[in-house]
Amino acid sequence: MTPKRKALAVKPQPEIQAEPRAPKKPAASLNIPWPASEAMSKLSLSERVQVKIAKALMRLMPIYQRTIEEGPVEGPDPLPVIRRGLIEYEDEVNGGFFRWIGRSAHLLSGKDVLDLGSGYGGRAVRYSELGARSVIGIDIKFQAVRKAVELSRFKQSNNSRFVQSAGEHMPFADESFDIITAYDVFEHVEDPEKCLQECKRVLRKGGQLLLVFPPYFHPLGTHLEGYVSNFPYLNLLFSTRVLVSAADEILKERNEKLSFVLRPKDKLYGMNGLTIRAFKQMVLRTGFAPERFECRPLFEPYNRKYKRFKMKYYYWFIKLLPELPVLNELFTGRVVCCLVKPDNGHKITSHLASR
């Protein structure tokens, strides 16, 4: 006899709720650019020279913030407050997250779903349309949560809600969800292992954590392409102090400001430096059963027929690189995982340790 499913247990909260235990330095409270003059005063002569070289390389492949904020949206121009959410929504309609996972999004049907790092709400709203019993999106940024709520109202999504919270401290009862999705999130959280532990806590037995993220040594792993440059592998050529100073100087020259602070610490602000090797060890320590752990190549030929034709003679080599030790950190486009919370039918395997 199948045991009765426990009802979704969520602590009473308003539609937008501040997290109960804020992280040490929440991004939402940081709204001024990091002063380049202060950074430069602490750099050595050698580092100052490297800053000039880094700036020259960044200018070879520049990108501007407005090209990130704006994007193609079908139909009339929507309300500015929900524009980013609609871009996420349309990406999910076209496959988005589940294109990487390689499964049908209809597996969400009838499930209680948590979208970790829900951004502007487009994916969570789409998941509710695909038949999820309930969808809750959490994000650390208050403005993103506010816009996600507006998008859900615009789309009349009655079973999706959004909460401001960090992934390391979720305001939910144990065993509240069947599925957790995380699309390009784990490279940003302050403490990835703590976030994994929280995901396991709020998942029901047999529940799945589906996640996709780019490793730090991905060609654009620093995420400078979000606002400064698309030049690849800058994180291999320069220290974080140099990159932070160079990026900040370029932004000052453009008279642009960011919604977060750049800090000359071990990693770029907003990035935790997560590598494939480190994440494998975290998965093993947290006790998840890794049903799938795959390193996908930088270039995928599946999206266009002409690309499949052009790449068929050398794709085998591109596909081989993510399987090789050390090189996999440099040539993996995305790490794709399906992690299961063990029950009586799942055994924790340790094959990751030898890979």
Instruction: Report which of 87, 96, 83 is spatially closest to residue 147, judged by C-alpha positions.
Output: 83
| DSSP tag of 348 | -
Look up the pTM and report it: 0.79
Instruction: Determine the Cα–Cα distance for residues 252 and 241; give it in Å rounded to an integer.
Output: 17
**Residue carrying structure tokens 């001024």:** 32
Give residue 182's pLDDT.
98
Do 168 and 193 meet the contact criterion of CB atoms below 8 Å apart? no
**Residue carrying structure tokens 């994994």:** 196
Give residue 326's pLDDT.
85
Residues 6+ apart with CB under 8 A from 77: 83
HSE-CB at 180 with a 13 A cutoff on CA atoms is: 31
Beta strand segments in 44-148, E: 112-116, 134-139
Q: Give residue-wise pLDDT tens across range 42-85.
A: 789 999 999 999 999 999 999 886 544 555 555 555 677 898 99
Instruction: Determine the Cα–Cα distance for residues 166 and 256; give it in Å rounded to an integer.
Output: 27
Instruction: Determine the Cα–Cα distance for residues 162 and 192; give it in Å rounded to an integer.
Output: 21
As given in the structure block, the two tokens for residue 322 are 């993510």
The amino acid at 242:
V
Give residue 36's pLDDT.
42
Domains (ranges, CATH) in the chain?
65-226+275-343 (3.40.50.150)
Residues of the chain with pLDDT under 50: 2, 7, 10, 12-39, 67-68, 259, 261-266, 354
Q: Give residue-wise pLDDT tens across range 178-209.
A: 999 999 999 999 899 999 999 999 999 999 99
Work out the number of other CB atoms within 10 angstroms of the CB of residue 295.
20
Burial (CB count <10 Å: 0-12, 13-18, 19+), residue 318: middle
